[in-house]
């Protein structure tokens, strides 16, 4: 039997790295997608060492650039015809307003729009899998999120929480509408909240902002592996073969906010996202 193939974004750190190691231990072929080789290569070596598997490789893609995502998808589909599991895990929290190469607000751009384009460009290989699975790593932060169609890129009134919660609500809405679009295929798509997890997210590499908050809260947080458990479960478990469009926490279907289930909003937001990325 051929190994199942999983692609994980943001695989060089935190939960992405933990999921890479665990899925490789379970016999998956894992493609780590990282923003560059400098950040990816040490993680690739670490993942191979910890898993004892050689079936792990690195590909680069900057989710803050639509050109990079398109180039990556072309490269991927020229190398591989089948993809069994796509884990849209990469995420960013910025303390001030930053923009992607395409002038999107960074959190909406990377956490949602980048993955939105990537997923759409990888639907063919996912449909060729016996049972393709798309796993969107969302957050309980979606509950505070609103989609501001008049000012989605927060050109005025930027706030960390406002931007992050909007981008995470976007993960739920994307899941809801994509599951509708995929209903006549064997591909499923689900979203999850990993819990509060001790990772590098929100810690600014240049200024160190966020480090002390992190150090204080660390004892109360899940480890990256504990945080990755639901994504690993959704990638590997036969129990979820027929579940699509759901939101999971601690490996169980959990109700998200009422806004996150709003099918009309999900459709309107899909159409907006498609226009933004030029689909």
Ligand X SMILES: NC(=O)c1ccc[n+]([C@@H]2O[C@H](COP(=O)([O-])OP(=O)(O)OC[C@H]3O[C@@H](n4cnc5c(N)ncnc54)[C@H](OP(=O)(O)O)[C@@H]3O)[C@@H](O)[C@H]2O)c1
Query: Nearest approach, Cβ of 201 to ligand X (angstroms)?
Result: 3
Task: Quote the DSSP letter at residue 222.
Answer: B
Whether the CA torsion 19, 87, 113, 190 is positive or negative: it is negative
Whole-number minimum distance, CB 113 to ligand X, in Å?
Answer: 11
For position 213 contacting ligand X by CB under 6 A, the verdict is no
Q: Is position 89 an interface residue for ligand X (rule: CB under 6 A)? A: yes
Under rule CB under 6 A, which residues in 60-79 are in contact with ligand X? 62-64
- Nearest approach in angstroms of CB 203 to ligand X is 8
Q: Which is nearer to ligand X, 119 or 139 (CB)?
A: 139
Query: Per DSSP, what are the bridge partners of residue 137?
Result: 192
Sole window of 44-52, 59-67, 152-160, 207-215 interacting with ligand X (rule: CB under 6 A): 59-67
Cα separations (Å) of 231 from 85, 128, 151, 155?
A: 10, 21, 32, 33
| Surface-to-core class of residue 83, CB atoms within 10 Å of its CB (0-12 exposed, 13-18 middle, 19+ buried) | buried
- Closest separation in Å from C-beta 202 to ligand X: 8
Phi and psi, residue 134, nearest 5°: -110, 130
Residue 160 corresponds to which tokens in the numbers above?
A: 């960390």
Give the single-character DSSP code of 86: E
Span of 89-97, 122-130, 244-252, 261-269 interacting with ligand X by CB under 6 A: 89-97
Alpha-helix runs per DSSP H in 64-200 = 66-79, 106-107, 115-121, 123-127, 160-181
Can you tell me which of 144, 201, 225, 243 binds ligand X, judged by CB under 6 A? 201
220 φ, ψ to 5°? Answer: -95, -5
List the interface residues with ligand X, window 91-110 (CB under 6 A). 91-92, 110
Question: Would you call 164 a catalytic residue per the annotation?
Answer: yes
Interaction between residue 39 and ligand X (CB under 6 A): yes
Residue 144 contacts ligand X per CB under 6 A? no
Cα 26 off chain centre by: 21
SS3 category, 254: coil
| φ, ψ at 57 (rounded to 5°) | -135, 170
Choose, by CB under 6 A, the member of 3, 71, 197, 225 that binds ligand X: 197
Nearer to ligand X, 215 or 241 (CB): 215
256 makes contact with ligand X (CB under 6 A):
no
Min. distance of Cβ 39 from ligand X in angstroms? 4
Total residues at interface with ligand X (CB under 6 A): 25
Subset of 8-37 contacting ligand X (CB under 6 A) = 10, 12-16, 35
DSSP tag of 197: B
From 1, 2, 47, select the one nearest 24 (Cα to Cα).
47
Tell me the two tokens of residue 85: 């599991």
Determine if 200 is a binding residue for ligand X (CB under 6 A): yes
Told to check if 145 binds ligand X by CB under 6 A, we report no
- Asked if residue 172 binds ligand X (CB under 6 A), the reply is no
Q: Which residues belong to the active site? A: 164
What is the contact surface with ligand X in residues (CB under 6 A)? 10, 12-16, 35, 39, 62-64, 89-92, 110-111, 137, 139, 194, 196-197, 199-201
């Amino acid at each position: 039997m051929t190994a199942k193939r999983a692609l994980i974004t943001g695989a060089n750190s935190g939960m992405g790295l933990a999921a890479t190691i665990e899925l490789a231990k379970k016999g998956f072929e894992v493609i780590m997608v990282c923003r560059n080789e400098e950040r990816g290569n040490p993680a690739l070596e670490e993942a191979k060492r910890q898993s004892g598997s050689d079936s792990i490789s690195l590909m680069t893609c900057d989710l803050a650039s639509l050109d990079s995502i398109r180039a990556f998808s072309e490269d991927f589909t020229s190398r591989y015809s089948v993809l069994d599991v796509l884990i849209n895990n990469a995420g960013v929290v910025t303390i001030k307003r930053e923009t992607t190469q395409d002038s999107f607000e960074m959190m909406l751009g990377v956490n949602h729009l980048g993955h939105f384009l990537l997923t759409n460009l990888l639907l063919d290989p996912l449909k060729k899998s016996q049972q393709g699975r798309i796993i969107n790593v969302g957050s309980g932060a979606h509950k505070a999120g609103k989609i501001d169609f008049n000012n989605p890129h927060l050109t005025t009134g930027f706030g960390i929480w406002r931007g992050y919660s909007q981008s995470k609500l976007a993960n739920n809405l994307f899941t809801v509408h994509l599951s509708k679009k995929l209903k006549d295929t064997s591909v499923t798509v689900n979203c999850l909240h990993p819990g509060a997890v001790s990772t590098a997210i929100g810690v600014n590499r240049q200024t160190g902002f966020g480090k002390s908050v992190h150090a204080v809260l660390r004892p109360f947080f899940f480890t990256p592996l504990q945080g990755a458990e639901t994504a690993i479960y959704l990638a590997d478990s036969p129990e979820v073969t027929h579940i699509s469009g759901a939101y999971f926490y601690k490996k169980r279907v959990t109700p998200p906010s009422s806004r996150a289930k709003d099918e009309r909003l999900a459709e309107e937001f899909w159409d907006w996202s498609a226009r933004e990325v030029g689909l």
